[in-house]
Amino acid sequence: MTSGRRADACGCPASLPYLLDSGKFRKDRDASAERSVTNMAGNKLVLEGRISIISFFLGMGVVLIPVITSLGSHIGWVFEYFSGIRGKIAIAVYIGVVQGLLLIIYKGPLHKVAVRACFLGCAFGCGLLISFTETTWTHFGWYMCSLSFFHYSEYLVTAIINPRSLSLDSFLLNHSVEYTVAAVSSWVEFMVEKLLFPELKQLGWVSLLGLLMVLCGEGLRKSAMLTAGSNFNHVVQNEKAQSHVLVTSGVYAFCRHPSYVGWFYWSIGTQVMLCNPVCLLGYTLASWRFFRERIEEEEISLIHFFGENYLDYKRKVSTGLPFIPGIRVQS
């Protein structure tokens, strides 16, 4: 689920190991301006990050509807209520009330943040309801939780590490046309195969393997973002700033492109979780080809930026992706 234009980035080209320097080389006359920018960034983090958290949990409140109405019943009631007409009406009313409340409280750009976070929270909550039911839809509930959490956490982590770059695009909901087509294709495949080959969707050990891949991939990607810190940016940067330094510690000591590696295995894991053989093959090939081209393109810039330091790092640490060595440099 990748595209050729929009990708995760850490200051310079996407998913590269940079961290903000301590600033000791800066001139004293720049210190005041830097503190001013930092303070503004902090205010933005407190406001938008906090609003997104509140809205996400308001959306998650859908899980309380069947709990309140059927407290004390067997776990099987959850899906029965959730899929019944009363449950659907109750959830629709709840979402409408929450959206109306957000519209009253927040205006303009802040309302747009709240709406998106609330939508993702609602999707996560519905995924939880489905996940804890003893039905044939359980694994799709896992998928809903994985997908919604991925998109929300992209925004929240960006708000924490680099609020100056924070925007609605940080949710990655409008990542690209290709990304949307890939997501919809996986939903269609799951539904069609569930109707035609229902036994295919009940391979529990396969779905558990996919869940493990998703959790590991998500963890690696977010670790890379946190390690990159304030240099992380969802918009690819092609110019080296004076404050950027090459970082080879943390997760970058194990692979040169940990954010890409995490996203690669996360995306494949979602299809293993859904037991989608067609999309599994398509996701694997498309993601591998995209990252191969992107890494080669980025490493040209890295060599230009850091010269022998990056070449030495490149010789010691692999990209982390199978059969993708990166740009080849002749001695």
Q: Report the percentage of the chain scoring pLDDT > 70.
A: 77
Q: Indicate the DSSP class of residue 10.
A: S
* Rounded distance between C-alpha atoms, residue 130 and residue 170, angstroms: 27
pLDDT tens across 212-241, in order? 999 999 999 999 999 988 777 776 666 766
Residue 204 has pLDDT above 50, yes or no: yes
| Backbone φ, ψ for residue 243 (5° rounding) | -85, 0
Beta-carbon contacts of residue 73 (< 8 Å; ≥ 6 apart):
none
pLDDT tens across 68-98, in order? 666 545 555 555 555 567 677 778 888 899 9
Nearest alpha-carbon partner for 6 in 190, 234, 177, 224: 234
Amino acid type, 269: G
Per-residue b/e over 101-125, b at no fewer than 16 CB within 10 Å? ebeeebeeebbebbbbbbbbbbbbb
Which sequence spans correspond to the domains of the chain?
A: 20-174, 176-331
Q: Indicate the DSSP class of residue 63.
A: G
The reported pTM is 0.82
The CB density around residue 28, as the number of other CB atoms within 10 Å, is 6
Nearest alpha-carbon partner for 272 in 180, 193, 172, 204: 204
Would you state the pLDDT for residue 237? 63
Q: Report the percentage of the chain scoring pLDDT > 90.
A: 57
* Rounded distance between C-alpha atoms, residue 97 and residue 104, angstroms: 11
Nearest alpha-carbon partner for 74 in 133, 162, 152: 133
**Assigned architecture for domain 176-331:** Up-down Bundle (1.20)
Would you state the pLDDT for residue 264? 97
Q: Which position has the token pair 């996407």?
A: 14
The angle at the Cα of 243, spanning 238 to 245, to the nearest 5 degrees, equals: 80
Would you state the pLDDT for residue 232? 76
Beta-carbon contacts of residue 204 (< 8 Å; ≥ 6 apart):
none
pLDDT tens across 245-288, in order? 787 889 999 999 999 999 999 999 999 999 999 999 999 999 99
- Ranges 26-35, 36-45, 215-224: which has the least confidence: 26-35
